[in-house]
């Protein structure tokens, strides 16, 4: 199997499009909650003097979880843009990337895919834990995003009106991007295997290795070998 450069263009265009579904809603959610992370937040409902219930947050989620998701969204945005631009250039010029370029792309795509799947599980499990906390309100028969939080916004200086749409869109973007980068990784592996079967990958890697060795060092080794042969 030798995936065409056009196929890579389609995959990278898809991952670029899906990365916006990660960056924008994640950024809006952090802004609405004043940089507080709601994923895996813990707390309890306490009854007020008026007979209603008030949500008290004992600990917000780790900021590293939300920041990692935001970071990976930005990484996907810029990496997809770069790889899409390279693929479009290859299509316009009518040639494919070198074996060394395909090998580096495979490593990069595999790393991004792994990180995105980690982010997807963090988002899904963290959002589920946040909704479980909201739905634990006594005598509550509504869904997560319809539950009345009382004076929660004023108490913590946040805006919780759109938290459900933001987190659900980000969750969709993460899982969609994970699958898109998984396809990109599969295509890259197939391309590397194609070059390997044609004995071009090892030759390309050997050439790249030679170019990384300073010419002065190579000349010095040659001179030392000549000196040893004379002596």
Instruction: Compute the distance between CA of residue 100 and CA of residue 209 in angstroms, rounded to an integer.
Output: 10
Residue 203 within any structural domain of the chain: no
Domain interval for residue 147: 5-198
Tell me if residue 159 falls in helix, strand or coil: coil
> What's the full length of the chain, in residues?
231
CA angle 68, 171, 149 (to 5 degrees): 95
Decide if 41 contacts 60 (C-beta within 8 A). yes
Residue 45: which of 132, 160, 143 has the closest Cα? 132
Name the β-bridge partners of 55: 45
* C-alpha dihedral, 161 to 163 to 168 to 170, nearest 10°: 130
Domain membership of residue 153 (yes or no) is: yes
Helix H or strand E encompassing 35: none
User: Running DSSP on this structure, what letter comes out for residue 146?
Assistant: G
Q: Is 229 exposed, middle or buried (0-12, 13-18, 19+ CB in 10 A)?
A: exposed
Neighbours of 63 (CB within 10 A): 13
Q: 72 with 116: CB under 8 angstroms?
A: yes
Please count the other Cβ atoms lying within 10 Å of the Cβ belonging to residue 86.
Answer: 17
Q: What pLDDT is attached to residue 32?
A: 93
Report pLDDT for 227: 42
Question: Is 218 domain-assigned?
Answer: no
- What is the rounded (10 degree) CA torsion for 67, 71, 72, 74? 140
Nearest C-alpha neighbor of 49 from the set 117, 183, 144, 151: 151
Q: Please tell me the total count of domains within the chain.
A: 1
The pLDDT value recorded for residue 222 is 46
Is 204 part of any domain? no
Residue at 61 is within a domain: yes
Asked if residue 225 belongs to a domain, the reply is no
Residues in the chain, pLDDT under 70: 49-51, 199-231
For residue 102, tell me if it sits in a domain: yes
Return the sign of the alpha-carbon dihedral for residues 176, 7, 106, 94.
negative
Q: With respect to residue 205, please indicate whether it lies within any of the assigned structural domains.
A: no
Half-sphere exposure of 153 (CA within 13 A, CB side): 9
Q: What tokens does 204 get?
A: 């390309």
């Amino acid at each position: 199997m030798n995936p065409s450069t056009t196929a890579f263009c389609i995959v990278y265009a898809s991952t670029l499009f899906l990365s916006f579904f990660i960056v924008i809603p994640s950024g809006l959610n952090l802004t609405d909650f004043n940089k507080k992370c709601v994923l895996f937040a813990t707390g309890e409902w306490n009854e007020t003097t008026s007979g209603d219930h008030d949500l008290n947050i004992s600990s917000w989620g780790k900021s590293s979880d939300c920041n990692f998701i935001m970071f990976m969204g930005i990484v996907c945005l810029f990496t997809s843009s770069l790889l899409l631009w390279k693929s479009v250039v290859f299509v316009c010029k009518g040639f494919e990337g070198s074996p060394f370029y395909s090998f580096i792309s495979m490593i990069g795509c595999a790393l991004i895919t792994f990180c995105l799947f980690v982010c997807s599980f963090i988002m899904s499990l963290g959002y589920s834990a946040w909704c479980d906390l909201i739905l634990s309100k006594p005598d509550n028969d509504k869904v997560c995003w319809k539950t009345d939080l009382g004076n929660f916004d004023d108490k913590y200086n946040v805006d919780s009106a759109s938290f459900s749409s933001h987190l659900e869109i980000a969750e969709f973007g993460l899982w969609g991007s994970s699958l898109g980068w998984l396809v990109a990784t599969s295509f890259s592996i197939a391309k590397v295997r194609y070059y390997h079967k044609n004995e071009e990958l090892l030759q390309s890697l050997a050439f790249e290795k030679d170019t990384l060795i300073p010419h002065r060092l190579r000349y010095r080794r040659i001179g030392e070998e000549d000196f040893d042969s004379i002596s």
